[in-house]
Amino acid sequence: CPVLQDISLSPCEVAAALRSLDGSKATGLDEISARLLKETAEQIAPSLTLLYNKSLETGVFPDEWKVANIVPIHKKDNKDHVENYRPISLLSIISKILERCVLIRLRDHLLLMLDRAQHGFIPGKSCVTQLVEVIDYIGSLLDSGKQTDVIYLDMSKAFDKVQHSLILDKLRQYNISGNLLNWFTSYLRGRRQRVTVLGATSKERKVTSVFLKVPSLDQCSFFYM
């Protein structure tokens, strides 16, 4: 089985991630805009690459990038009920570029190890491809006179909250180790947040719960399964 211990990014990877930014994306606490990063991608990519690779080599995710500005957005119904708001977590866009680059490398590694029967969160696969495969399989069994039993489970909001210790255990199971595992550990720990409502901002507080949605790496939900 392949082992992934270290990641070294190239300026081309970083520049591609910068160019793919949505220029209208809201800024984090550093107030560095997506538009600025997008329009200067070629010029700043080499310097950012050095910064990112130093983070990956040392296994340390900068504390400044762990601070989120939470903006509650009203969804529907009574505005006095907190459950009717959706929290938007605004993080440094520079940190999210690093997350995106790591995500691509991690996804490529995991796809080599996942069962081919998995369809959820896999590029090129969907609930439709899963359904086609299941129907074909059931049909072949029925044609041969065999019994078929199917159990479907639907877990509500299954990936809204993920226990960080379980993520790290999963990474170890998929042969993530060394500096990269240390980086993921640092990435998940010591996160802080503050809330901004109607121009007023709360004091910064530590995130004490062990359950948190992972900012960008939630796109790798397929390996929780």
Q: Which residue has the higher pLDDT, 155 or 47?
A: 47
205-225 average pLDDT score: 57
51-55 average pLDDT score: 98
Q: Would you state the pLDDT for residue 219? A: 52
Phi first, then psi, for residue 194 (nearest 5°) are -140, 160
pLDDT tens per residue across span 66-106: 999 999 999 888 988 888 888 888 999 999 999 999 999 99
Query: Which residue reads 């690459």 in tokens?
Result: 49
38-53 average pLDDT score: 98
Single pTM value for the model: 0.81
pLDDT tens per residue across span 100-144: 999 999 988 988 888 888 887 788 888 899 999 999 999 999 999
pLDDT tens per residue across span 143-178: 999 988 888 887 776 666 777 888 899 999 999 999
Residue 221 has pLDDT above 80, yes or no: no
Q: Which residue has the higher pLDDT, 77 or 11?
A: 11
